[in-house]
A and B are shown apart, each in its own frame.
Chain A
Amino acid sequence: MFSEEEKKEIDVELGKYPVKSAAGLEILKIVQKYRGWVSPESLSEVANLVEMTDDELDSVASSYNHIFRKPVGRHIIFICDGMACWLKGYDKIIEYFKNRLGVSLGETTNDGRFTFLPSSCLGVCEQAPVMFVDDDLYTNLDLEKIDEILTRYK
């Protein structure tokens, strides 16, 4: 069942397109925002609403890096692995995260606090290296800065 908040945002998205299925991706993002990830039940619910089969909608959902079809941690760290970030020390940052959080790319910390994911080039190359934590962009990263940033996410 969609919550009242979800319904409100979903209606805005449906209004943008002449065809319901076109709003599928945006609705998945709304559902993910409130529920953390897109479970098979959530996917079904959205598919039903936008008049697609579950498989059709999953073919859309599964093509995007930012639709989570598995449960994730409370916060998502996206480390940019674009070439500018690679040139400016991506490997060291990955190493540091592994030591600091004990997780490799694609994994979630045991306490469920962070999921650690790679991202293709984030388009902020002149300020490399960069990362996102949830919706927040952090640029010109160094190891000390990362330590401080992580304390903001509980």
Chain B
Amino acid sequence: MEKPLTKNFKTDGSVCSLSEYEKRGGFQALRKALKMPPGEIQQMVTESNLLGRGGAGFPTGKKWGFVPMGKDAPRPKYFAVNADEMEPGSFKDRVLMEGDPNLIVEGTIISSYATEAQAAYIFIRWGYKLSTERMNKAIAEAYEKNYLGRNIMGSSYSLDMYIHTSAGRYMCGEESSLINALGGKRGIPRTKPPYVVTCGLWGKPSVVDNVETIANVPHIVSNGAKWFKGLSLTEEGGTKIYGVSGKVKKPGWWELPMGTAIGEVIQEYAGGMNDGLQLRGLLPGGASTSFLTEEHLDTKMDFASMAKTGSGLGTGTITVLDDENCPVGMVNNLESFFARSSCGWCTPCREGLPWVSRILNSMEAGKGEISDLEILREHTVFLDTGHTFCALAPCAMNPLRSAMQYFGDDFKRHVTEHRCPWRD
């Protein structure tokens, strides 16, 4: 099984040095890319069917295709790597930046070249101290070797790369909010159109791509679109970093072919549930995805297959709910997070999420009423897509709606028994 994203990872947690990275073929993809016209790289990425790994699964090549190119394009253009990774339950981008920062730097340079960007920003969340430290070192070393800076490796292409560390705001993970935050404004979403690919950072064309997405780019350039598609078990190209957290025997992450089944990841790689515990449900890719249950364990974890379940691949990092924890309590934890994370811009989200959170809190405290269930259900309709300014509140409703569907009896017990059955 080929593992291009993690092949340079050290088992002891140390980091692969630049010279070692070069010895293992590192920066050969950049050398090759600089001899290709940017459009050709875009074409290759499109053919590879690389889908954005931030959670939405938008085709990367297609996104790049929207960037104005050539002599008449507005300049400077920017490339931003989204390393904010604040989706609860997700940790794959951290793993990649800590494990092989040189790959992230090379991927960013090639992606910037493919979209003719003059500057690249890595937008890293506050808490990723080790990622930041290692990325800073990798960038400094890339400058020394002229992989960055003026006339990269003797070509006519020049690029500067900077790290921006955020200060903790979930909303900044959304691309237009990230662009606002990076540009010095409050990190709230923008009206679209215009999309950031044409009018982004300081009004200039900007691409925002996830860490895992751009980590694939050097390998696609080196080995071709056909090879990349061959890594996957389904139509969607490449490998995927999957993860599992919760009460399983071996919580962790693994690079596996795209389309590996949920059950295989949990059973074979995470070792199954801790002794004495049963699996009750799972969130397949972060807090914004819908709960799934045992009946879905055969589902292939790619974007298309997961969408058919009514949930989604999201970030591909699974959180497992066991039978010792209360489903209502878990949803309460999630909705209190979403309520805190609302930027307050639109009314349904600003008022609705705290309302949901208060109700769940009171249910957990034994003060819920039967009528609360209907109020919760109404929120899953009125905070859904089309009623809000951005996707935050609709995403927040995914775990609630699905939990009420799969764990309906647990919700009922809370309001009829006036207590949380999982507490003394």
Contact = CB atoms under 8 A, between A and B. Distances in A.
A123 B337 contact: no
| Closest 8 pairs (CB-CB, A-B) | A64-B167, A125-B245, A65-B168, A21-B184, A121-B88, A22-B184, A84-B245, A66-B167
B94 A124 contact: yes
Given A16-B162, A86-B330, A121-B89, A65 B169 contact: yes
Contact of A137 (B129, B333, B336): B129
Contact of B184 (A17, A64, A84, A123): A17
A26 interface: yes
A16 B337 contact: no
A119 B319 contact: no
A79 to B, nearest CB: 12
A122 B127 contact: yes
Interface string A57-101: 001100111110000000000000111101110100000000000
B247 to A, nearest CB: 6
A46 to B, nearest CB: 12
B21 interface: no
Nearest to B322: A87
Contacts of A20: 184
A65 B167 contact: yes
Nearest to A140: B251
Which residue, of B85, B164, B322, has the highest number of chain A Cβ atoms within 10 A?
B164
B182 A123 contact: no
B287 A123 contact: no
A43 interface: no
A83 B126 contact: no
22 contacts: A19-B183, A19-B184, A26-B164, A28-B167, A29-B165, A60-B181, A63-B186, A65-B169, A81-B333, A83-B330, A83-B334, A86-B333, A90-B333, A120-B86, A120-B170, A121-B337, A123-B128, A124-B94, A125-B91, A126-B245, A126-B251, A128-B245
A88 B88 CA distance: 14
Interface residues of B, number: 58
Contact of B127 (A22, A25, A137): A137
Contacts of B128: 123
Contacts of B125: 123
B165 A121 contact: no
A124 B317 CA distance: 11
A59 B187 CA distance: 9
Contacts of A23: 184
Nearest to B130: A137
Interface of B: 76, 85-91, 93-94, 125-129, 162, 164-171, 181-188, 202, 243-247, 251-253, 283, 287, 317, 319-322, 325, 329-330, 333-334, 336-337, 340-341, 343
Contacts of B246: 84, 87-88
Contacts of B317: 125
Contacts of A106: none
A123 B91 contact: yes
Nearest to A67: B167
A81 B319 CA distance: 14
Nearest to B94: A123
B184 A60 contact: yes
Contacts of A88: 246-247
B251 A125 contact: yes
B166 A64 contact: yes
A132 interface: yes
Interface string A110-126: 00000000011111111
B279 to A, nearest CB: 12
A22 B183 contact: yes
A24 B186 CA distance: 11
Contacts of B89: 82-84, 121, 125
Interface string A4-36: 000000000000111111111110110000000
